[in-house]
């Protein structure tokens, strides 16, 4: 492995860890609003961080699960949950929520690309690969909100989230079928998905909502 490949792999790992931390923190914040105990906070944090990837691995019948392969990441999420319970107070919530929107957008792009890549390696059809990317990027937050008895944010926020993951996944599949180098397909998918989500946040783009007269 040359220096460029080593640097790229290190960067991907660092971004993935940052995204996992952002998703775990979103779970901790939701658990705090619901006044859950320490076990509840950790469970919701783990669901947010690992739920999408675990569901993807279940659907693809892939073993061991990714968090079993990388036990250090699991310990890191547990440490984050504990530190958040010790130091986060009500006055920090609004600032923290705004701050994690951007790494969350980047994490959405990375996890979408990871899900698509895993499915394509298993020679799944393009539409299945895109759906696996969508599941990986979105369903950790969906499981978090369901456990906390909320309508999932991905369905009620109205700013494009699952839609941008869906679009980025198809771009990855197209580049893969065009025999584009794997690192380039991954990079384009991440940048497109994260960029569209960042634009949606910045410009406050809204998906049409169901209207009942």
Where in the chain are the domains? Answer: 3-203
Task: Look at residue 169 in the predicted model and tell me its pLDDT.
Answer: 94
Task: Look at residue 12 in the predicted model and tell me its pLDDT.
Answer: 60
State pLDDT tens for residues 32-70.
Answer: 878 888 899 999 999 988 999 899 999 998 888 878 887
How confident is the prediction along the chain (213 residues), in pLDDT tens digits per residue? Answer: 556 556 556 656 666 677 777 788 888 888 887 888 889 999 999 998 899 989 999 999 888 887 888 788 889 899 988 888 887 776 666 656 666 677 678 778 888 988 898 899 899 999 999 999 999 989 988 898 899 888 887 888 788 899 999 999 999 999 999 988 877 888 899 899 999 998 998 888 888 877 766
- For the whole model, what pTM was predicted? 0.82
State pLDDT tens for residues 102-121.
Answer: 767 877 888 898 889 889 98
Task: Look at residue 168 in the predicted model and tell me its pLDDT.
Answer: 94
Task: Look at residue 210 in the predicted model and tell me its pLDDT.
Answer: 73
Residues in contact with 133: Cβ distance below 8 Å, sequence separation at least 6, in sequence order: 111, 112, 113, 114, 115, 116, 119, 165, 168, 169, 172, 189
Does residue 165 contact residue 112 with C-beta atoms inside 8 Å? Answer: yes
């Amino acid at each position: 492995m040359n220096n460029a490949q080593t640097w790229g792999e290190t960067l991907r790992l660092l971004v993935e860890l940052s995204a996992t931390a952002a998703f775990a923190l979103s779970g901790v914040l939701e658990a705090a609003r619901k006044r859950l105990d320490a076990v509840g906070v950790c469970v919701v944090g783990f669901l947010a961080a690992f739920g999408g990837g675990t569901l993807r691995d279940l659907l693809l019948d892939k073993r061991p699960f990714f968090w079993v392969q990388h036990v250090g990441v699991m310990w890191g999420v547990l440490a984050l949950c504990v530190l958040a319970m010790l130091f986060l107070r009500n006055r920090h919530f609004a600032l923290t929520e705004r701050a994690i929107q951007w790494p969350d957008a980047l994490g959405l792009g990375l996890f979408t690309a990871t899900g698509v890549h895993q499915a394509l390696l298993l020679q799944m059809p393009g539409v299945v690969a895109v759906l696996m990317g969508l599941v990986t990027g979105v369903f950790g937050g969906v499981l978090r909100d369901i456990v906390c008895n909320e309508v999932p944010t991905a369905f009620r926020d109205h700013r494009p989230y699952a839609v941008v993951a869906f679009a980025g996944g198809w771009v990855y599949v197209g580049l893969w079928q065009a025999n584009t180098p794997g690192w380039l397909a991954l990079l384009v998918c991440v940048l497109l998905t994260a960029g569209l989500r960042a634009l949606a946040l910045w410009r406050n783009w809204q998906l049409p909502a169901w209207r009942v007269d």
